[in-house]
Amino acid sequence: MTMHRPGGGPGGSLRTFQQDTSVTRHRLRGDTMQRILQFARPYRAQLILFLILIAIAAAAGAVQPLLFQRIIDQGITAGDRTLVMTYAGIIAGLALLTAVLTIAERMISARIGEGVIYDLRTAVFDHVQKMPIAFFARTKTGALVQRLNGDVLGAQQAFTTTLSQVVSNTLTVVFVLAAMFTMSWQLTLLALILLPAFIFPARWIGPRLARITRRSYDLNAEAAQTMNERFNVSGAYLAKTYGRPDDELAHFSQQAAQVRDIGITTAFYQVIFRVALTTVSALAIAAVYGLGGLQAISGQLSVGIVVALAAYLGQLYAPLTALSNVHVTIMTALVSFERVLEVLDLTPMIREIDSPINLNEGLRTAGARIDLSDVSFTYPSAGEVSLASLESVTHLNTDLSQPTLHNVSFSVEPGQTVAIVGPSGAGKTTLTHLITRMYDPTVGQVAIAGTDLTKASTASLRETVGVVMQDAHMFHDTIANNLRYANPSATASQMQEALQRAHIWPLIATLHDGMETVIGDRGYRMSGGERQRIAIARLLLKAPDIVVLDEATAHLDSESEAAVSSALNEALRGRTAVVIAHRLSTVRTADSIIVLDEGKIVEQGTHNELLERGGLYAELYNTQFADQQQS
């Protein structure tokens, strides 16, 4: 009876040779191992116990053929029934011990592995949340999710599967060879001479399997990307409006066919690999039985030793074959770990100081005042905020972009509404990013309630400032849970009141499930105007002191605009507001209008004052707003 160990059978060797050997050319960073050990530190005791159990299991596996030899030579051959039953009992005991060890190993391995996965995933998730908007604008979401899934799992294997295979295979080979040499050094050398017959097929098939496996991952990723793009609501709408179902099917069928074909090729190489190992193993055992049998007949060896040596061969070749490619196994796990660390090493551009100021203290004394002082801003380069591997490019551009804002200074008094207008690309949205601290100014200062935002606590800033964007994002969840995102403790009556103030409750009340209605991917079961009003209700539940509206009524029809405008009036009442808008109604009623052009303030005043000056605002008004006023 031989004991199965992870990586100790043909399947384990096959997985080893399926791995991409190109990882061995990767140069690990000098501190990678040290940082890996930091993640291992909380599991030191469990890892030590894990290794001890592996060693005991390997020793138990190596003892079994010795017992076969004893039961044959000292029991069966000698006709000693008591000895036969004794050794049979010991073999049965080892079987039970092996079962217990396997369960214990698996449980400890699961605790370590799942613990490491949890630690890595939460660390990456927490870190990614701190990255600037530019990071998310550049990164392929699928590539980032792969770091949280595939690479985290690969990194976890460094502590469990890889460690188990390397230690178990090494100990098994040492114990088995030691036992075999004590029995017959001649037959042991014969077994080792046959080892290349195992290694060469694996070496020939291994690189081909690695290339095919890598290609199959790429093809499956491409097919998954096609399904993701076509099956989300926006992609499905585009595909249906352009009416190309036959072309879409043909495109996907081609991808699916490639996946099918490469699956068949993979299966062919796998069966060749298994058959080669099984055949060579059978030939080796036949040689041992042949030569060993002749030696047993001549009295040089006992029958038990011949049987034991044949049993040991079953434990020897697979671990040796796997160890011949162990550097690939180890490097695969380490490279996966390094890819996770690569994300963790990205430096967030927005960082909180050690003892930040709570904005609520300033709000009580200075009120919700906004001050921008000589603010200039240049968007960071790709190399500062992203990774080439997350964008699927060979290298990132490190050149700085042109400045977006130049020496911008203005103030918004508590309770005032200031509108920001200007041509496309003037820097309007950039201003909202600075006020909400999605970015910090390159030069100058942005302050709320007299506090520089770089010194304010992030939590108090998020409480103070509320935002409604041009395209209000909704989660694939109920209306109630989308509202609770702004205020997790909100009651049903509070949410209903917010929906009423946002002029959307009459519609919600008519829905069969009311606020428990699931609004679909990105909220697409609702119209644009309805989503905007739910977003405003979400803002009202948050009850911020400052409101930032970034073209919240753009792209709405006149009926939706009227409803959203009424909701916005409710949201802005008594609050400091910065509004980017193309809609006349919002701009005309603002306390002050700031006109931006090429990142500079070129005009500032009320609606009537700016019209009288006949400058850029009057030009924008005549081209963009006059038709609305006439209607």
Which residue, among 631, 596, 600, 626, has the nearest Cα to 419 in the 3D structure? 596
For residues 286 and 281, give the distance between their C-alpha atoms in angstroms, rounded to a whole number.
9
Domains of the chain: 10-344 (1.20.1560.10), 415-430+458-630 (3.40.50.300)
| φ and ψ at residue 410, rounded to 5 degrees | -165, 165
Q: How many CB atoms lie within 10 A of CB 79?
A: 8
Round to whole Å and give the CA distance between 392 and 400: 20
For residue 597, list its beta bridge partners.
Answer: 600
Residue-level pLDDT at 412? 92
Strand partners, 467: 548
Model pLDDT, residue 109: 87
Distance CA 334, CA 328 (A): 10
Residue 490 gets which letter from DSSP? -
Amino acid at 556: L
| Structure confidence at residue 586 (pLDDT) | 63
* Per-residue pLDDT at 8: 45
Give the pair of three-digit tokens for residue 626: 């006059």
Sheet with 417-421, strands from edge to edge, namely: 465-468, 546-550, 576-580, 417-421, 592-597, 600-605
CA distances to 1, 72, 90, 91, 308 from 78, in Å: 22, 8, 19, 19, 17
* Predicted local confidence at residue 523, as pLDDT: 79
Question: Which residues in the chain show pLDDT less than 50?
Answer: 1-10, 629-631
Q: What is the pLDDT of residue 191?
A: 78
CA dist., res. 499 & res. 515, Å (int): 10
Q: How far apart are alpha carbons 173 and 195 in whole angstroms?
A: 13
DSSP-derived pairing of the beta strands 546-550 and 465-468: parallel
